[in-house]
């Protein structure tokens, strides 16, 4: 029974008896830990935001441990990766992307210098062992993730040294050998990894044998052979193929004699080769590529597939690049080459609804060269794996876990044909091992991260001040040699400063905005981390669903979603 | 009547009571002493949940922010208006501090009496007086002026939502020029309110009180800093807080902060501080927005968004001129950083914590 | 101690004896000397109070509201236009059941502007829910003022002490002013249970909807009605302590078997008494009504028992109806067996001098066959154009 008190005064805080939560019409706020775009874009599967969060708090080793939970070779990828993470970075909408690549390298080098232990434990003696063919980035990643999944790994490498194309195809100006060796040796020294060198599949060991002796087989042979190249059936008598030239040069430090060279292709190998030849003294180096150079109107599909800074440096160094062109005819004087005829071409939509490269008659012109070097890509050496080759001459990997038609056999990295970067190979290695581990535990597929990605439009940029991107030190063109690393170390201060630029897209950064700005006091701060990874919970007894918290959340961590709450929940 | 029927009836009654807010008065519940998370919030909560403000109410937010840093040793005199109505529908109250509502036009005078009582009783409890723009700019203006002149130790906070919202969105002297309200509607013969927004701070300044300032719900830390500063002054202080009203301004409830922020960014609501009536500080605008960005979010300015109507264009230009005037008059254009304008950013804190140091 | 004091001055002294924490007042036209005298007492260090010199009567009432709500003994004084300007706050104070005391120096209400005595001002706020006590002379005004503080805090109701403007406030009388020790002994310290207090933070002045409003109103009505015994009891207590009373709710004097009665409030009673004393064999019962709100219905019925005629003197009118007190007395006596016939006259409006001889005129008017049930008795209608009479 209501008792009306004198003067109808009210007792403090009694409005809490009135649950305004039933005022919400349709939506209520929820915490959505969306993927940061850097994470979503990373082929290796790194969560850059997670390790930047550690850096923001000054915990460098924890940052590195978070990083190597996915990618065991940050010192390497921090030098060679085309960093799609930076391209995806939402900070571009405010000022410019974080220098993720450079911070990654610094972290990797820091770990080597300080001797931080990888976050793995030695597998049990009787743990299942996975056979890995190839000790390139994919194979090494697979071996490492075996340890992380409690498995042992045995690597079979045809060459006398581990490293794969990291050693054979990437010039020391991009990846100095000491840096490579330091990280590889640390990785290979982990207990539970056995490395067999000079052990070639099909020659020293057979696939069936491996399938029998090991719990699973992961093929990571890379693409050891160059793709065949000819112009209407013609090839120069002294044809030097790009990847081969590069390997030769790395082994012997010599290029064949030439004054003017045309390189035909459009990948990192082509650019590396151009730059090395130019530095070696070739007067004129011309890259002929069917793709386009970056520009305001360039279609991303059409863009040349090269690390942007490498392209920039190549242009600095005087490499001439002819875009949207292909070699149409070789001009020979006897067996001697005097030039190539090139023609303009472009990718256009055909009547079949697919993109085709169309050559434009009447745009032919001649570039005088005395050597043309094809650099149009590589293919798999099929030895020992003929049964697994598909019709495009790659290994027949069929899903994101690189499963092949043969049970317990995975094919990862460049050999799949649809990969092209070190980071992708590293990611493949991890995913394949996760699939192996899942199968061994009797599960169908590993758990997939199906979270949505956080677009820049989902952030509230008001809360982020402008801070310019750290400038990365670089050798002047004149001082560039065959050995000296061109890009420098950004150092601790810059790395930590760069970390503060991270927007924490889709992640709660405990800024208190929701807590401060809720007119209904319906956001409750938690002393410990809440179960959804935030520092707050919504009191839906009182939330009226106005949406201010979602609008003012700087990182898009709060979103309005269909209201499924019932009174008394 | 069977037992079953009786139960159903009791249930139905309980349901109706729940719905219409009729609750039996029970023994006092030990709020803020329990073990729940709500009870252990690391802030002083004087304005509890369960109040009946509309979704996205700027005033409810502003009042909570003010109370948070005013602290428990205060007493509040509240003028009639939304804040009073939505916080105290008897038998409930959302307040956790002593609070009194008397009339529309006398909160400053009631507060004066409360302050006199505290003085007479030898207590230091600080008195706050709250009013909306109607109760401050208009009907309660005389009482406010008297309070300031008599130099009471009171912080007066005006929650400025630029019209009489509680009574049905009628224009006040704080309503901006050209805004459409129910007593200054836009129509074929009128472009909304014909007169200008009263320069209240200018008038307050003429009282030469120790401290007066404007603030906005879009910048909570700035607002709270000002409250704390005012709380420390022994004498009359005045704060006007720009508090958007989604219902009256006709914008979506989730845009409350955004709208308030744009009001500041375009210069129509300058954030300033005055000491003894002299301009002491401003919140600089680093990137000035056109007033249209602010107005376009609000239905009350919808009639100005007609580029083909010369009258609409003229009024829009007029408002832009008023904003430009503020920017020049208060010298609001800021370069670089200033402690006053890093508020939103300091909330997020991360890109300042280690960065530029 | 007996002193010759002006009414306003005496009230100021009485208020000072009650040691109010907060005093607020504004000198609207017309004002009395009460607040000036209080200011002087403060300036001279004889009264320690927060004196708030507000910018309007409206704020004066608001300030005392806030002060009393905050647990302070509060006092204000007003008159005429000031009371009307306060009206909104006066209703508010009473509705919130806040105890405080106000002196009303009764005066006419403009227009036309007139600064002299009648009861139009306090009558205008008759329905505000305050207790209204009328005083015959300045001694009673002093005593009632002190009593008012006690009644107020005992009933959680505001008390209006009505004393005739000019006639009392501006008149020198010899008054016995109690000592502070006596008052301190008799008047308990101020206490207001619902006072604003950070250690028990109540909300005062909540919004009450139709669900509960009639109950709240009834409770207010009941509270004012139940103040009747408190008023009586307080006066008796006062009389015991100070050897003089103010007449409780009402007093009667004159022969027990009188057939004619006259009832009036305030200083008019004194004039009438004096007039009656000079009328031989008047045989008239004089009723002095002290408590106008609450109206002591039972006591009135008792006081008028046995009368054939009752002359009700009003000092204010409700145009279109007549005298206010007269109408209320009629209502009180309605249905009472052998109720006297009511002769309702308004006299002395706007300070028109009330001569003692008016008694004779009033008595003869009883037999006047042309007399109306209500008249503005001392108005010379011949001064009006016929159409305005």
**Residue A409 buriedness (CB in 10 A; 0-12 / 13-18 / 19+):** buried
Instruction: Choose the closest CB to A7 out of C97, C212, C215.
Output: C97
Residue A15 with chain C: CB contacts under 8 Å: none
pLDDT for position A244: 85
At C106, list the tokens. Answer: 């009764």
Q: Which chains touch A (3 or more CB pairs under 8 A)?
A: B, C
pLDDT for position B355: 35
Averaged pLDDT for residues C197-225? 94
A343 and A252 together in one domain: yes
Regions in chain B scoring below 70 on pLDDT = 1-6, 9, 12-35, 336-357
- How many folded domains does chain C comprise? 2
Residue with tokens 């010369």: B310
Q: Which of A335-344, A400-409, B72-81, B158-167 has the lowest mean pLDDT?
A: A335-344
pLDDT for position A250: 82
At the fourth CATH level, the homologous superfamily of domain B43-349 is Thiamin diphosphate (ThDP)-binding fold, Pyr/PP domains (3.40.50.970)
pLDDT for position B38: 84
Averaged pLDDT for residues C43-49? 92
Give the mutation candidate from B347, B348, B353, B354 for the A interface (greatest A CB count, under 10 A).
B348
A242 and A309 together in one domain: yes
HSE-CB for A541 with a 13 A CA cutoff: 16
Residue A352 has pLDDT above 90, yes or no: no
Q: Do B142 and C59 touch (CB under 8 A)?
A: yes
pLDDT for position A466: 80
pLDDT for position B347: 47
Looking up residue A369, the CATH number of its domain turns out to be 3.50.50.60
pLDDT for position B337: 58
Q: Tell me how close the Cα of C346 comes to any Cα of chain A, in angstroms.
A: 36
Is A450 a member of any domain?
Answer: no
Domain boundary among C192, C208, C241: C241
Q: How far is CA C368 from CA A318, C361, C383, in A?
A: 130, 10, 21
C200 and C288 together in one domain: no
Q: Do C201 and B102 touch (CB under 8 A)?
A: no
A69 and A154 together in one domain: no
3-state secondary structure of A288: strand
Looking up residue A83, the CATH number of its domain turns out to be 1.10.1060.10
**For A34-66, what is each residue's pLDDT tens digit?**
999 999 999 999 999 999 989 988 999 999 999
pLDDT for position A481: 84
- Closest C-alpha to A101, from A153, A161, A162, A175: A175
Looking up residue C384, the CATH number of its domain turns out to be 3.40.50.920
Averaged pLDDT for residues C265-294? 94
> Which residue in chain A has the smallest CA separation from B216?
A517
pLDDT for position B24: 38
A145 and A97 together in one domain: no
Pick the more confident residue, B299 or A25: B299
- Give the C-alpha separation, A328 to A330, whole Å: 7
Q: Which domain holds residue A216?
A: 129-224+380-440
pLDDT for position A124: 93
Q: Which chains touch C (3 or more CB pairs under 8 A)?
A: A, B
A112 and A147 together in one domain: no
Instruction: Choose the closest CB to C202 out of A2, A4, A12.
Output: A12
C233 and C254 together in one domain: no
C254 and C352 together in one domain: yes
> Which residue in chain A has the smallest CA separation from B24?
A2
Domain boundaries, chain B: 43-349
**Nearest-10 Cα torsion for A104, A110, A115, A120:** -20
Instruction: Choose the closest CB to B94 out of A15, A23, A518.
Output: A15
3-state secondary structure of C64: helix
Q: Which of A151-160, A229-238, A281-290, C330-339 has the lowest mean pLDDT?
A: A229-238
A2 in contact with C, Cβ within 8 Å:
yes
Count Cβ–Cβ pairs < 8 Å, chain A vs chain C: 34
C233 and C283 together in one domain: no
Domain boundary among C241, C271, C288: C241
* Chain C positions with Cβ closer than 8 Å to B: 21-22, 24, 49-50, 52-56, 58-59, 62-72, 74, 88-89, 92, 96, 196-198, 200-209, 211-212
Averaged pLDDT for residues A523-531? 81
C14 and C160 together in one domain: yes
Angle subtended by helix axes C34-43 and C7-17, to nearest 10: 50
C314 and C216 together in one domain: no
DSSP H or E segment with residue C365: helix C358-365
Averaged pLDDT for residues A134-142? 96
Q: Which chains touch B (3 or more CB pairs under 8 A)?
A: A, C
pLDDT for position A117: 95
Q: What is the CA radius of gyration of chain B?
A: 22
A212 and A166 together in one domain: yes
How far out from the chain centre does Cα C207 lie? 31
> Which residue in chain A has the smallest CA separation from C215?
A4
Q: Do C63 and B77 touch (CB under 8 A)?
A: no
* pTM metric for this prediction: 0.86
C87 and C140 together in one domain: yes
Residues A148, A120 contacting (CB under 8 angstroms): yes
Q: What percentage of chain A has pLDDT greater than the value 90?
A: 61
Residue C63 with chain B: CB contacts under 8 Å: 109-110, 112-113, 116
* Beta pairing, strands C50-53 & C22-25: parallel
- How many folded domains does chain A comprise? 4
Instruction: Choose the closest CB to C206 out of A2, A6, A8.
Output: A8
Provide the 8-state DSSP code for A24.
Answer: -
At A165, list the tokens. Answer: 């194309």
At A292, list the tokens. Answer: 């386009």
Averaged pLDDT for residues C7-17? 95
A308 and A415 together in one domain: no
pLDDT for position C389: 87
Written as one string, the DSSP assignment of C150-161 is HHHHHHT--EEE
Instruction: Choose the closest CB to C66 out of B77, B84, B105.
Output: B77
C134 and C267 together in one domain: no
A202 and A100 together in one domain: no
Averaged pLDDT for residues A94-117? 95
C222 and C277 together in one domain: no
Q: Which domain holds residue C270?
A: 250-388
Residue A13 with chain B: CB contacts under 8 Å: 31-32, 48, 93-96
- Give the C-alpha separation, B141 to B200, whole Å: 10
Residue B341 with chain A: CB contacts under 8 Å: none
Residue B22 with chain A: CB contacts under 8 Å: 2
DSSP H or E segment with residue C2: strand C2-6
> Which residue in chain C has the smallest CA separation from A2?
C212
A491 and A389 together in one domain: no
DSSP H or E segment with residue C251: strand C250-253
**For B288-303, what is each residue's pLDDT tens digit?**
999 999 999 999 999 9
B356 in contact with A, Cβ within 8 Å:
yes
Q: Tell me how close the Cα of A533 comes to any Cα of chain C, in angstroms.
A: 37
Is A5 a member of any domain?
Answer: no
pLDDT for position B1: 47
**Residue A92 buriedness (CB in 10 A; 0-12 / 13-18 / 19+):** middle
Instruction: Choose the closest CB to A7 out of C194, C201, C212.
Output: C194
Domain boundary among C241, C264, C289: C241
A1 in contact with C, Cβ within 8 Å:
no
Q: What distance separates the 2 farthest-apart alpha carbons in chain B?
A: 79
Residues B321, B267 contacting (CB under 8 angstroms): no
Residue A391 has pLDDT above 50, yes or no: yes
Instruction: Choose the closest CB to C202 out of A2, A4, A10.
Output: A10
Q: Do B337 and A524 touch (CB under 8 A)?
A: no
A306 and A257 together in one domain: yes
Three-class secondary structure assignment of chain B = CCHHHHHHHHHHHHHHHHHHCCCCCCCCCCCCCCCCCHHHCCCCCCECCCCCCCCCCHHHHHHHHHHHHHCCCEEEEECCCHHHHHHCECCCCCECCCEEECCCCCHHHHHHHHHHHHHHCCCCCEEEEEEEHHHHHHCCHHHHHHHHHCCCCEEEEEEECCCECCCCCECCCCCCCCCCECCECEECCEECCCCCCCCHHHHHHCCCCCEEEEEECCCHHHHHHHHHHHHCCCCCEEEEEECCCHHHHCCCHHHHHHHHHHHHHHCCCCCEEEECCEEEEECCECCCCCHHHHHCCCHHHHHHCCCCCHHHHHHHHHHHHHHHHHHHHCCCECCCCCHHHCHHHHHHCHHHHCCCC
């Amino acid at each position: 029974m209501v008792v009306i008190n004198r003067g109808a005064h009210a007792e403090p805080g009694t409005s809490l008896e009135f649950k305004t939560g039933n005022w919400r019409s349709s939506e209520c706020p929820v915490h959505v830990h969306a993927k940061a775009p850097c994470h979503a874009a990373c082929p290796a599967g790194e969560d850059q935001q997670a390790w930047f969060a550690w850096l923001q708090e000054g915990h460098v080793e924890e940052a590195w441990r978070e990083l190597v939970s996915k990618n065991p070779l940050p010192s390497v990828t921090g030098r060679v990766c085309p960093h799609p993470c930076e391209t995806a970075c939402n900070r571009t909408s405010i000022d410019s992307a974080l220098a993720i690549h450079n911070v990654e390298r610094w972290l990797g080098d820091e770990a080597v210098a300080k001797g931080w232990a990888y976050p793995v434990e030695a597998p049990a003696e009787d743990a299942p062992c996975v056979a890995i063919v190839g000790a390139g980035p994919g194979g090494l990643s697979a071996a490492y993730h075996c340890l992380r999944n409690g498995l042992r790994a045995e690597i079979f490498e045809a060459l006398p040294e581990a490293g794969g194309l990291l050693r054979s195809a990437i010039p020391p100006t991009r990846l100095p050998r000491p840096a490579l060796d330091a990280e590889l040796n640390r990785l290979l020294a982990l207990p539970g990894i056995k490395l067999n060198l000079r052990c070639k599949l099909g020659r020293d060991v057979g696939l069936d044998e491996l399938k029998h002796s090991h719990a699973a087989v992961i093929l990571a042979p890379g693409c050891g052979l160059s793709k065949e190249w000819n112009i209407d059936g013609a090839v120069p008598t002294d044809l030097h193929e790009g990847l081969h030239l590069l390997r030769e040069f790395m082994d012997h430090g010599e290029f064949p004699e030439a004054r003017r060279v045309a390189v035909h292709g459009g990948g990192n190998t082509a650019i590396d080769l151009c730059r090395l030849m130019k530095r070696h003294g070739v007067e004129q180096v011309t890259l002929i590529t069917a793709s386009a150079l970056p520009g305001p109107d360039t279609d991303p599909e059409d863009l040349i597939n090269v690390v942007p800074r490498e392209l920039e440096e190549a242009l600095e160094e005087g490499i001439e690049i002819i875009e949207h062109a292909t070699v149409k005819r070789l001009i020979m004087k006897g067996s001697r080459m005097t030039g190539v005829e090139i023609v303009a071409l472009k990718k256009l939509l055909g009547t079949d609804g697919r993109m085709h490269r169309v050559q434009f008659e009447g745009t032919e012109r001649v570039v005088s060269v005395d050597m043309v070097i094809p650099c149009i890509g590589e293919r798999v050496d099929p030895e020992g794996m003929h049964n697994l080759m598909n019709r495009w001459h790659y290994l027949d990997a069929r899903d994101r876990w690189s499963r092949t038609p043969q049970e317990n056999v995975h094919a990862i990295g460049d050999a799949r044909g649809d990969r092209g970067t070190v980071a992708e190979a590293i990611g493949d290695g991890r995913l394949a091992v996760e699939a192996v581990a899942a199968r061994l535990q009797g599960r169908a597929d590993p758990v997939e991260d199906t979270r949505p990605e956080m677009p820049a439009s989902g952030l509230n940029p008001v809360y982020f001040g402008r801070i310019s991107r750290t400038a990365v030190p670089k050798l002047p063109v004149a001082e560039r040699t065959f050995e000296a690393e061109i890009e420098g170390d950004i150092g601790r201060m810059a790395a930590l400063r760069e970390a503060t630029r991270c927007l924490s897209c889709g992640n709660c950064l405990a800024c208190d905005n929701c807590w401060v700005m809720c007119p209904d006091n319906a956001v409750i701060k938690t002393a410990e981390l809440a179960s959804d990874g935030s520092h707050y919970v919504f009191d839906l007894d009182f939330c009226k669903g106005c949406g201010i918290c979602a609008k003012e959340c700087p990182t898009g961590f709060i979103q309005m979603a269909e209201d499924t709450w019932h009174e008394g929940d | 009547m069977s037992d079953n029927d009786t139960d159903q009836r009791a249930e139905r009654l309980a349901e109706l009571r729940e719905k219409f807010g009729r609750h039996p008065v029970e023994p006092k519940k030990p709020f803020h002493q329990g073990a729940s998370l709500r009870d252990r919030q690391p802030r002083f909560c004087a304005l509890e949940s369960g109040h009946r403000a509309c979704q996205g109410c700027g005033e409810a937010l502003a009042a909570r922010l003010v109370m948070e840093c005013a602290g428990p040793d205060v007493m509040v005199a509240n003028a009639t208006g939304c804040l009073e109505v939505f916080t105290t529908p008897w038998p409930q109250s959302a307040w956790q501090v002593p609070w009194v509502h008397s009339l529309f036009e006398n909160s400053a005078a009631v507060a004066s009496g409360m302050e006199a009582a505290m003085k007479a009783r030898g207590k230091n409890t600080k008195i706050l007086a709250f009013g909306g723009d109607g109760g401050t700019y208009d009907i309660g203006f005389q009482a406010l002026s008297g309070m300031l002149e008599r130099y009471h130790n009171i912080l007066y906070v005006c929650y400025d939502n630029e019209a009489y919202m509680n009574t049905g969105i009628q224009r006040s002297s704080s309503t901006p020029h050209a805004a459409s309200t129910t007593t200054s509607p836009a129509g074929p013969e009128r472009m909304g309110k014909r007169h200008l927004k009263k320069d209240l701070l200018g008038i307050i300044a003429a009282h030469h009180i120790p401290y007066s300032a404007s603030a906005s719900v879009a910048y909570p830390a700035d607002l709270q800093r000002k409250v704390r500063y005012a709380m420390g002054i022994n004498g009359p202080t005045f704060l006007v807080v720009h508090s958007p009203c989604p219902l009256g301004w006709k914008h979506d409830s989730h845009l409350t902060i955004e709208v308030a922020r744009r009001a500041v960014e375009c210069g129509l609501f300058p954030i300033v501080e005055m000491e003894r009536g002299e301009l002491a500080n401003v919140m600089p605008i680093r990137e000035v927005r056109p007033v249209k960005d602010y107005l376009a979010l609000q239905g009350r300015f919808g009639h100005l968004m007609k580029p083909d109507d010369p009258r609409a264009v003229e009024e829009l230009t007029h408002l832009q001129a008023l904003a430009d005037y503020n920017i020049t008059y208060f010298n609001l254009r800021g370069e670089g950083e200033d402690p006053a304008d890093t508020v939103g950013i300091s909330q997020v804190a991360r890109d300042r914590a280690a960065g530029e140091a | 101690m007996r002193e010759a004091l002006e009414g306003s001055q005496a009230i100021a002294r009485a208020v000072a004896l009650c040691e109010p924490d907060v005093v607020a007042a504004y000198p609207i036209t017309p004002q009395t000397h009460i607040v000036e005298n209080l200011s002087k007492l403060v300036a001279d260090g004889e009264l320690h109070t927060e004196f708030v010199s507000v910018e309007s009567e409206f704020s004066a009432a608001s300030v005392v509201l806030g002060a009393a709500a905050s647990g302070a003994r509060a006092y204000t004084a007003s008159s005429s236009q000031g009371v009307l300007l306060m009206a909104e706050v006066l209703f508010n104070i009473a509705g919130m059941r806040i105890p405080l005391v106000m002196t009303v120096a009764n005066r006419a209400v403009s227009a036309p502007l007139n600064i002299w005595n009648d009861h139009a001002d306090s009558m205008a706020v008759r329905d505000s829910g305050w207790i209204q006590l009328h005083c015959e002379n300045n001694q009673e005004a002093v005593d009632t003022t002190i009593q008012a503080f006690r009644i107020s805090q005992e009933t959680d109701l505001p008390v209006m002490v009505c004393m005739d403007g000019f006639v009392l406030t501006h008149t020198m009388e010899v008054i016995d002013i109690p000592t502070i020790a006596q008052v301190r002994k008799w008047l308990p310290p101020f206490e207001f249970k619902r006072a604003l207090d950070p250690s028990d933070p109540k909300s005062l002045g909540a919004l009450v909807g139709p669900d509960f409003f009639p109950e709240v109103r009834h409770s207010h009505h009941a509270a004012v009605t139940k103040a009747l015994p408190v008023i009586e009891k307080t006066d008796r207590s006062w009389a015991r302590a100070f050897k003089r009373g103010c007449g409780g709710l009402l007093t009667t004097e004159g022969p027990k078997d009188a057939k004619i009665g006259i009832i009036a409030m305030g200083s008019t009673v004194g004039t009438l008494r004096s007039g009656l004393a000079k009328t031989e064999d008047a045989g008239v019962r004089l009723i002095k009504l002290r408590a106008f709100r609450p109206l002591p219905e039972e006591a009135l019925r008792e006081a008028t028992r046995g009368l054939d005629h009752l002359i009700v003197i009003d000092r204010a009118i409700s145009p279109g109806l007549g005298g206010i007190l007269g109408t209320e007395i009629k209502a009180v006596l309605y249905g009472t067996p052998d109720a006297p016939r009511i002769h309702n006259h308004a006299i002395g409006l706007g300070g028109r001098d009330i001569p003692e001889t008016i008694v004779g005129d009033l008595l003869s008017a009883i037999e006047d066959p042309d007399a109306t049930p209500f008249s503005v008795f001392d108005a010379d209608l011949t001064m009006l154009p016929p159409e305005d009479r």
